[in-house]
Amino acid sequence: SPLHHHKTTTASRTLAKGVEGLLVASCASLTWRKPRLLAMQVEKGVAKRPKRLVVGLTYTGSASIFYPMIQTDRHNPLQLVSRHYIPQFKLDEPSLLDRLAAQLRLNKGNKQPVDKAVAEGYDFVSRNYIPGDQVVLVARPRYKEDPDLYVEAAETLARQLHNGTGPSDCSNLKPINGGEAETKRIPIHGVAVIGMYSVSQSERIKVWFQTQLASSESKVDSMSEWSDELKSRFPLGTEHIICNKWEDGKEHACWTRFGPDGGIISRQIFLCTDSLGWDMWIHCTKHVIYYKEDWIPEWDKHEPVWTREPSSSPSGSGDTIMAEGMKPEGMHRHELRKYEDLPGAISLLVWKWS
């Protein structure tokens, strides 16, 4: 009958709407649960790579070195970057007005710039660090400035984090997760330092850098000594030390990896007769800092024009290039590679010790 047909149709429509509602609810549930599941995986440490906390100790206005770095707390890989400024004039003699302005800045709030930068860096790490994270310190002076001021700030911060003894004004810090504040020792994963200078600078900078660049041997020697000098200033257990130096259009870098006891696991030294922009820096620090993919140079994909092992070479340039005393103690394999026609028509000499 028409009445029966109407009731049947109404019931069918009601059932259909009910099924449709369940499907919509199920889809919504799936859509909502997926990111939550991802977040739970990250919280449980399922993320493929460890979170990194990068602390930059640099001059006011410095930005270019940090732009290529990944900066996110939501997507893998997780990396937080914090810059802390240390105002300093060039080594050229400042004017009386500049000195007055500097004095006003130094006295403001009765806090020295280095102390302020260190305290801010400690605050950043303490609030964001959880066990398993990797802390990396970057010291980046302005062109022609003494890098030791920035290294000293990084050294102080590293010691405070490693020993669990922060600045006095950071005693009331609370972790970002809202938990109870407590003193904790935070290891340093890596330290990276840039030095940029020219022949017109003061002799004390040149002495600090050990810049006897008469030959390839002395270049390697100076970079090794600089790396070892930096290692002596930072806590035992610092795994990576990278130093990068620009000088009058030439660029040199050293990346050293250390074991828990401070012994050298591997060392690579890069010598280039040109300035590579940020390519050398990114190539050497990509092991401790996450970078945007299109900023990472693909040098590893190029074949060297020649490779030598100086320690096993019976004679010739291989033995004369590297003196026996320059090889790190405990290193068993020494390899010298030369690359040509890298992007930008760059030639590069690379020492590898392991």
State residue 104's pLDDT score: 58
Token reading at 61: 């206005």
Q: Which of 153, 121, 128 is nearest to 140 (CA)?
A: 153
Q: CB count, 10 Å around CB of 342?
A: 17
- DSSP run (H or E) holding 140: strand 134-140
pLDDT tens digits, the chain, 354 residues: what are they? Answer: 544 444 444 445 544 445 444 433 333 333 333 333 334 444 454 447 899 999 999 887 677 889 999 999 888 899 999 999 887 654 444 556 655 665 555 544 435 788 999 999 999 999 999 999 999 999 988 766 667 888 999 999 999 999 998 776 554 445 544 444 456 899 999 999 987 654 444 343 344 344 433 445 556 678 888 899 999 999 999 999 999 887 767 788 999 999 999 999 999 998 887 777 788 899 999 999 999 999 998 887 888 888 888 654 433 334 434 444 445 555 567 888 888 877 766 778 888 887
Rounded CA-CA distance 351/354 in Å is 10
- The DSSP output letter for 92 is S
Token reading at 312: 């096993």
Between helices 113-128 and 148-163, what is the axis angle to 10°?
40
State residue 41's pLDDT score: 42
Check: CB of residue 309 under 8 Å from CB of residue 334: yes
